[in-house]
Structures are given as C-alpha cells and as structure tokens.
Structure 1
Amino acid sequence: MNDPQDQSHDPYETTETHLERLLGRALNSFDLPDSTIERLESALAHSTALYSSHHSASLHRTTYRHTYLLPDGTAPSLWELVHNSGRDGTEQHELYLEEAEARLAASRLPSGPSLDWTVERSDGTTSEEDDDLEVLSALLARPIPTQPRMYVPDNSADHARRVLRRAENADRPGEATARRLRLAFAHHITQAFGRHCPVEGGRDAGFTLYEHQFLLLDGSELSLWEVEHTATPDGRHMCEVYEEERAAREAMESRARVR
C-alpha cells in the first residue's frame, strides 16, 4: 500500500523500497535496534495508516502506523511522527517501535499541548499568574501520587538501552544499572511533570519529567527518571537521565534558575 502522506512515489513500490525511504528520512533511525531492522527487511508486504493528526497555526503534527507482514506470520509496526517544529519549520520525521514512545515524542514538541498546561496549588486552585520559578520549585517538591503499575512486556530491555543512550548528563546511570536493565522484560512509562517557564534570554523553556519503570526477570523493579528540557543555549531539546527522582527534580530546578 502506498504511503498516504507522499503521493509522489510509485503506489506499487516494493516493501523493501518503502522501508528504505522511512529509515532514510527519519532523524532518529540510528536508535532503532539492528535486530528489528533485519527482521523488517524480510517483510513480504506492508501497509500504512494515518493514526492521528493535529494542525494549528504554528504546529503540524501527524502520526502514521507502518505495519509489516513477516514470513513467520507476525506483523510488527513502526510508528512515524511527522512534524514541522524544527528551527526553520521544515518537515521532520521520527520513527519509534512503540505507540507510547511516539505519543511521548509528540507531547515534547515545543508548540505542543504543554503550552496550555496549568499547575495545581496546594489549596486546589489553578493560576497562570504565579511566578514561574516559584511554581516550578513548589511542584518539584511534591511527591507523585501513587499510580498502579501496568507493566507491558514489549522489548523492554531495548527500551531501557535507548533511554540510557540518549542521556547527555555526565552523572547518568552507569554500567551497573545498564547490566541490571538487560534483565527487563516489561515496563511502564509515567509522565510525572510538565511545565514551561522563562529562562536566560527572556525565552520560555519546556521541562518534562518521565518515570520509566522496569520489571526485571528476578521480580525486582527499577526506575529511570528522564528529564526532557529546552533550557539549552540554542533552545534545542536535551535529555538527562537519573536513577533517583530527587536528582532529576533538582536538575530541573537548577536549569530553571538559569535566567
């Protein structure tokens, strides 16, 4: 089936050509496991379906699901996020193995839903007029409400590897943690915090905190705390990963104080 977002290509292109096009235009194709690519290269057929679409004055965001039929009868998917949030507004493509990862990536786009988020005060009211730094500090100090663990067995060890791989902070988890996470067989992702606030230069920066919870083969649990923010000199997205919630929250507060 032809790619509905690109009518310039042959509707009868082979599955091999289709996969090559996806990988060639994706900014993050290097993050996909080699084993997955090798499996998809043996696909007998493919189909593409529009999964979601969002258009506003400044942001265009679309998600596609590309499904492949393999010789063993399985039908794995690639989730493609297409958006125009780059520096010059050009169309950009990203590929993910999991729907949840594609949705998280979409939520991190600078003009996405987080721009409209409000925060809750301790008295239960909301306000956008509070001082951003005070609000951020107060929210970072609040514990996350207990939520049920809904682990999903979905290539979790590789998911952990990719989370650690994109971390840019010097004090990211080390090899000992990476070895433990090779035993992960299920995981759950929780968004713990999201907020925009002013930083140096008078611009807004986005801060998002995720907990990646892993269930290991020995029955133990382990979490990685991922901070996504744009408090960088050029406004680009940066990922930091910590083993402890407190360290992640302190890192966000420290970045927010750079004005």
Structure 2
Amino acid sequence: MSAPHDSGPGVGFGTEPDASPEAQLGRLLGRALNSFDLPDETLERLDGALAYAGSLHSAHHSAGRHRETYRHNWLLIDGGSLTLWELVHNTGRAGTPQHEVYVSEDELHLATGRLPLPREAEPEFDIHVPMTPVKLPPLPPLHRAFGLGDPDNSVDHARRLLRRAENPDVTTRPGPGTARLLQEACAHQITQAFGCRVGHGFTLYEHAFLLCDGCEISLWEVEHTATPDGRHMCEVYATQEAARAAMEHRASSYPRARR
C-alpha cells in the first residue's frame, strides 16, 4: 500500500491556518460530485461553525487504483460537533480522482462497497481524531462579509439580474419595489447555494446586496435547461424557498432534467 496521493484534501488540525471552517466546508462541497444531495438541515447546522478538523480515516491502494476516506469534523456554535465523510477514488472510466460526501458512516460504507475494487479491499488502517464538545457562550449573529463597495457596479448587476429573469409566472418575479430598493445597492456578493439537488441541470445562486443604509437583501437565481428545447434559462425569486419550489416544479415537468 502506498501513501495517499497529493491531490487529496488536507487533513489534520492547522494544516491550512488561513482557511476558516466555512471555507473548508465550501471546498468540500465544491469538489464533491453529490454535494447537492446533502440535507438542508445538515448545511444549516454547519452555518457559523467555529472550528474544523479533517483526518484520513482509511485507505486502499492496489494495481493503480486507490480509495481513501476522510473524516471532516466541525465544532458548532451550540457546543456540539458534526461530521461529514468524504470518499475519494479513481475507479471511474477516466481514472481521475472523484470526490463524494456523505452524512453518515453507514452511507460511506455503502458507497465504498459499490466501488469496483477487490472484495478483500478492506481498510488497511483506521484513524480516529476525536473532537470533544466544548460549551461556549451564545454568539451574536454573524454578518455577511462584502468586498469593496462599488455602487455603480452593484446597481448595474441588480439591473441585469432582474432583466434576465424569465419566470413562467411573472407574479413570482421580484417587483418594482425590489428594483427601487436595489438602486441603493453599494456592494454585492454572489454565492452558489448548496442543498437538496433536484437534477444536474439546475444551479441555484444567492445574489446578496448591501444597501447604503446597512440593510441587506438577497435574490435567488435558478439556472437550468429544463425547457422544451433544452435551452438555458434563468429565473429569479425573492426567497430561497420559492426558488427551490420552482426547481422542483421544473424538474417534475421535464423529467429529463433529473439524472
């Protein structure tokens, strides 16, 4: 058995001192092919995590094929902890590393068992890094960190976002009141929203705007190809709940959007 390859995720405490717990979660979700299958409740619990620890849990290397599993722990603001399990392997057709993420060790074992590796390919070693829950005092709400303000750019971004919205039901689009509010935008931030995935043809983005009075407002953009001719289109909603409901409706209307 050889050592884990260099392209795997960083493991252990303090290996990336500049990476916050939130950044570590973003990196894991960004590289995992099935990140959209994670329950929304799990991601909500990880919001505002205070500390992160990653460790190599087990590994198998043979005949040019490899499989490693990683344990990712986060210390939560309520003093508890939450673990996600990452599977990395190169058993696909292209032979390139593939990453998957699971919420339980049982799910991880099921996924590992489906890999085309020899039956005797059991974990050669098993490493555990316990995280002791710590009781912490309540923290004040976390505020979004916007970059350097550029009012002209933010107002123009809001205008272009609203202009490209093609909601089938026009009453679900953000109205004139929202457009007027966004004329006071002085900074904005775009992030991909993770959670339950309805199909590989859908992507959900949050467009957060900082207004001149210090208030924040978010719009939710759904990008998809669930159209009669497979054309790419965008829809914009005022709430994440409305955006996810629209994704579910689109996916049920065009089943080929599910994969």
- Structure 2 length-normalised TM: 0.42
Q: TM-score, normalised by structure 1?
A: 0.42
Larger radius of gyration: 2
Greater relative contact order (CA < 8 Å, ≥ 6 in sequence):
2
